[in-house]
Structure 1
């Protein structure tokens, strides 16, 4: 079984989804399971993890309803207001949904220090009680905050989305590498090989541009803590679904069969406790 550990669904709303501006016009429409499933099948991917793209419980419920209907959606990573003083009550409610495995907040849109506030720390501290993971979505310059929260919460399983979003377009790598090295020292942190092509020049990226970043991730995390994700449909601004699959499979082709299986399947199955 091969798993796409990172993709999104939405019914496009120009007000709610204002982040999808005219430069991303290809995303200004609905993207639903019936659009993704043929792509999964064509690329021999058996299932996917639906990840939040909107900061609302309504979207979490929307994704859970899709997961009930489509067996290809193996798990959901939703959103919950971690700043809510009654967050534990909401976590107890959501713990009844078996396909809901964790939560994410779009921290890349928040000011520096957001994750270090007492309110966020309090909400985060409640996740492990209910067996939920937390996915870290930050820009590269926010990685020091990520390092600090991981250090403070060894009881939580963390997944770093999109390699911590290095700026591939400007070839930024040294500071990102330093922070990735620190973050990878914590054994409860795993890394998604996802979202790469959207951090490069959308119209002229090449496979070779990504190799130095993937080499660093492999060195620091190792194949036992790496997961493949397409970031579909966001990836469409820079390439088709197949391009995200081919990029990762090309890179890991030199790995052992066991290591390839870990990245494409085993790690996702274990981390998300897929049935």
Structure 2
């Protein structure tokens, strides 16, 4: 059974998504019912919704919308990773509202769509420190050349739990690159960071990727972090760019075939349940 730590729901009738206009095949609704129908057939029993970079005015409305979906009978949704803006002076008040809502399990600020120096700002860093001692995690979504930025934040905040999304976003279609392999080895030395095994099919050549072309990226991620610090995510609907949910689940099972049952259980669900106290 799988705990999916990375589900995106897109409902353009409910929320605004400014980035979708330039997103090609992803510029469409991707609704919960479509995901759930396939997910239940694949053994996905639980999922966390990952923020979808909605319009700033819709950030809290996105959480409310996902919470409504979680209340449907037999819903797989157990919580949400919400969007945030640590670079804003209003972050502390937002944090207080979130801490009063146990449905929200963490935050994400996508850093590869903003200037590289955003995370170096004094206010951003001061606000990120406010997560120390809370139950909230913080997801990094950075490109390989930005892993050093994530390392700096992890070092400044040893009491904050970070999650590195999508195996560090390697350009799978271009093959292994030193900037990614060395960056992953280095960030894995930080005990307050776990890595999410997700996303890689979207960064591969959609017409020619194979399990063996994904293997170096998944195995280096797991080897670097160890089986106790890896979690699994579908990255639906982005995974449809590389074949879809069923294809990624099948690839995951093939990639971990040589692991022990205990190791697979850690990746598939146990680490996520421990991380977010389920």
User: Shorter-chain-normalised TM-score: which range?
Assistant: over 0.9
Q: Is the 8 A contact 2:199 2:239 kept in 1?
A: yes
1:154 aligns with 2:158: yes
Distance in 2, matches of 1:258 and 1:169, equals 31
1:48 aligns with 2:32: no
Q: Please give the residue correspondences for 1:69-88 in structure 2 after superposition, counting only pairs within 5 Å.
A: 69=72, 71-88=75-92
Equivalent pairs counted in the alignment come to 273
Deviates more, 1:105-114 or 1:185-194: 105-114
- Paired residue for 1:182? 186
Superposition deviation, residue 104 in structure 1: 0.2
- Paired residue for 1:98? 102
1:167 aligns with 2:171: yes
- Paired residue for 2:61? 58
Q: Is the 8 A contact 1:67 1:99 kept in 2?
A: no
Q: Is the 8 A contact 2:133 2:159 kept in 1?
A: no
Superposition deviation, residue 23 in structure 1: 6.4
Deviates more, 1:153-162 or 1:248-257: 248-257
Q: Is the 8 A contact 2:140 2:165 kept in 1?
A: yes
3-state SS of 2:19 partner: coil
Using a 3 Å threshold, how does the CA distance of structure 1 residues 129 and 61 change in structure 2: closer, same or farther? farther
**Corresponding residue to 1:68 among 66, 71, 83:** 71
- What are the ranges of 5 or more consecutive residues in structure 1 without an aligned counterpart? none
Q: Is the 8 A contact 2:7 2:236 kept in 1?
A: yes
Superposition deviation, residue 203 in structure 1: 2.3
Distance in 2, matches of 1:181 and 1:2, equals 26
Query: What is the TM-score normalised by the length of structure 1?
Result: 0.93
Superposition deviation, residue 16 in structure 1: 4.0
- Paired residue for 2:17? 17
Q: Is the 8 A contact 1:92 1:130 kept in 2?
A: no
Deviation track 1:109-139 (CA, whole Å, cap 9, x = no partner) reads 0111221211111121111243211000111
3-state SS of 1:19 partner: helix
Distance in 2, matches of 1:213 and 1:58, equals 36
